Structure 1
Amino acid sequence: MTKIDAFAHILTPKLLAKMEAIDPTVFDKFPFMKNEFLTDLDKHLKSIPEDVQQILSFVNLNPEDFTDPKKAAELCRAANEELLETIKTHYDKFPAGVAMVPMNNIDAAIKIIDDQVASKDGLAGIQLFTRAMGKTIADPSYHRVFEKMVEIDKPIWLHPVFDQRKPDNNIAFSWEYELTQAMNDIVTSGLYQEFPNMKVIVHHAGAMVPFFSQRIKYIMTKENYEDFQKFYVDTAILGNTKALELAFSFFKADHVVLGTDSPFGIPPAGATKVIIEAIEKMDITDKQRNKIYQDNITKLAGL
């Protein structure tokens, strides 16, 4: 069967050129982006297994971190159009993409959602990050974005970024903490109580939440515990069958989707093979495995 990777990344050439024009040191600031499979579409395409398709989201090079609200909105809108063209040209491998929105310009973000996500085929939702403009993504000033996504009934992809207040950030552990903290902020801010049908896909199998689920159960409220289980999560933890089974047991069969973080994780082109091998070893039924590979994301993203 065709497996749909819900969390794969790209850095399109026009967006990259525009960002380098704003800040020529962008690759020095984000050395992990120096990955030819991220920026070279031909190499990226050749790296995808024959039975895998990818839903593409932009690598976390966020215009709002580099420029003013008006320019950030222009960059996001243009990048989304470039992504749409990439999808249309290679629809057999890229069934959908995930839109970028400027979190320093919420009015423009809402307009982009209306114009490019709600009104066009190809963009299945938006990508948000654990923090934006120095604030948690669950800050009340951002709630309009969540409200709009519930209104159009499309999912939010949640990706980690470093908290710049911390001096010891590292990719191995910090991003997992940031995801966990953002999930906690979303739950405790009452967003799921306000929007019970909100759809949020969390990278890296829900980070620390499955391992600490009993702490959530006994330290937090019953309502909080149930809200944590409303998140959707991917499988992008570089293999690790037992950890995937733990995430599967907490979030349940309908809330886990294939995600690889391609082309990151395992050089040169990512961990797709290793992650699929780990899923194959999970102690679940074939029907449940098919939900992870295709059924859940097909329904969630309206493919």
Structure 2
Amino acid sequence: MTVIDVFAHILPPKFLAQMNAVQPNILDNFPYMKNDLLADVAKHRASLPADHQQILSAVNLNPEDFVDPKQAAALCQSANDELAATVRANRDIFPAGVAMLPMNNVPAALKLIDEQVAGSDALVGVQLFTQALGQPITAPVYEPIFAKLAEIGAPIWLHPVFDTRKPDNNLTFSWEYELTQAMYGIVAAKYFRKYPGLKVIVHHAGAMVPYFSQRIKYIQGPADYADFQKFYVDTAILGNPKALELAVDFFGSDHVLFGTDSPFGIPPVGPTAVIEAAVSVMAITDQQRQGILHDNWRTLMA
């Protein structure tokens, strides 16, 4: 059985060169992105265990943070084309990729979804972040993106970023809080009810939600509780089988997909082995385990 990692990252090299032209040595601002496995496809391929595949999404080097709306749209279009080409040239190991969008240009973002995602053989959804341009991802200006993706049945990959208004951001806890708040925002906006076809894959096993499910139930009520259960989540919490079991208990085993955040987390090649080991000892059935490692992805894409 091929293990499918639904949340692995890449930094397309031509796109990186374009961003360096915008701001020389741009990665000096993001030292964790100085990882050969992001931009070197050959090294990336060699780092994977046998019989593993990855769904690729770009790291959060987002054009809208650096350039005007027109430039951002052009950079995203080019990066998406490059990622699609990478998928097509390496289909045995990268069966699909995830598009990036210019969040300072929503009309162009909707156009890119129509042209580069809908009906694509390579790009199967888009990656959104918990905030964009200092606004929560559920700000009204971004709602048409949710509506469009629900309409075409393409999932959203929800990835955290720091809230730059806060002085004490840290990688251990802040990103989990931001994911939780974004999930809360999606539920509070009633997007799952407004857009029944909406599919959202949340990084890091749904963050805080599985641990506070009863607070959701008794404070927000059964309708919101049911909406929180509509998220899909990955397994990217660096192991911890008991925590993963909580995610299965809350979201359902069919809404949990194997994901690692590779090549980040555990140097030098990422946490694939550690997370796979955790899944292997979870107190779940073999059928549920196979779903997490492979089948749930196939069902989601059907």
The TM-score range, normalised by the shorter chain, is over 0.9
- The one-letter amino acid of 1:282's match is M
Distance in 1 of aligned mates of 2:27 and 2:207: 26
Q: Is the 1:232–1:251 contact (alpha carbons within 8 Å) kept by the matching residues of 2?
A: yes
- The one-letter amino acid of 2:23's match is D
Q: Is the 1:64–1:133 contact (alpha carbons within 8 Å) kept by the matching residues of 2?
A: yes
Residue 182 (1) aligns with residue 182 (2): yes
Displacement of 1:299 in angstroms is 2.0
SS in 2 for 1:107: helix
Residue 18 (1) aligns with residue 50 (2): no
Q: Which runs of 4+ in 1 moved over 2 A?
A: none
The aligned residue for residue 287 of structure 2 is: 287
Q: Is the 1:131–1:137 contact (alpha carbons within 8 Å) kept by the matching residues of 2?
A: yes
The aligned residue for residue 54 of structure 2 is: 54
Q: Is the 2:151–2:197 contact (alpha carbons within 8 Å) kept by the matching residues of 1?
A: no
- The one-letter amino acid of 1:208's match is M
The aligned residue for residue 8 of structure 1 is: 8
- The one-letter amino acid of 1:199's match is K
Displacement of 1:301 in angstroms is 2.9
Displacement of 1:219 in angstroms is 1.1
* Greater mean alpha carbon deviation, residues 74-83 or residues 192-201: 192-201
The aligned residue for residue 76 of structure 1 is: 76
1:86-110 superposed Cα distances (whole Å, 9 cap, x missing partner): 1111100000000011111000000
1:33-76 superposed Cα distances (whole Å, 9 cap, x missing partner): 11111122111110011111000000011111110000000000
Query: Structure 2 unaligned runs (5+)?
Result: none
Q: Is the 1:162–1:175 contact (alpha carbons within 8 Å) kept by the matching residues of 2?
A: yes
Distance in 1 of aligned mates of 2:242 and 2:155: 27
Percent identity for Structure 1 against Structure 2: 63
The aligned residue for residue 158 of structure 1 is: 158
Displacement of 1:234 in angstroms is 0.1
Distance in 2 of aligned mates of 1:107 and 1:165: 27
The aligned residue for residue 115 of structure 2 is: 115
Residue correspondences, number:
302
- The one-letter amino acid of 1:281's match is V
Distance in 2 of aligned mates of 1:116 and 1:12: 16
Query: Structure 1 unaligned runs (5+)?
Result: none
SS in 1 for 2:128: strand
The aligned residue for residue 66 of structure 1 is: 66
Distance in 2 of aligned mates of 1:2 and 1:18: 35
Q: Is the 1:8–1:261 contact (alpha carbons within 8 Å) kept by the matching residues of 2?
A: yes
Distance in 2 of aligned mates of 1:288 and 1:161: 31
Distance in 2 of aligned mates of 1:92 and 1:225: 39
Residue 249 (1) aligns with residue 236 (2): no
After superposition, residues 1-303 of structure 1 pair within 5 angstroms as 1-302=1-302
SS in 2 for 1:168: coil
- The one-letter amino acid of 1:287's match is Q
- The one-letter amino acid of 2:121's match is D
Displacement of 1:280 in angstroms is 0.3
1:183-213 superposed Cα distances (whole Å, 9 cap, x missing partner): 0011001111211231000000000000111
Distance in 1 of aligned mates of 2:301 and 2:184: 24
Q: Is the 1:128–1:156 contact (alpha carbons within 8 Å) kept by the matching residues of 2?
A: yes
Normalising by structure 2, we get a TM-score of: 0.98
Distance in 2 of aligned mates of 1:172 and 1:38: 22
Normalising by structure 1, we get a TM-score of: 0.98
**RMSD (Å), alpha carbons:** 0.9
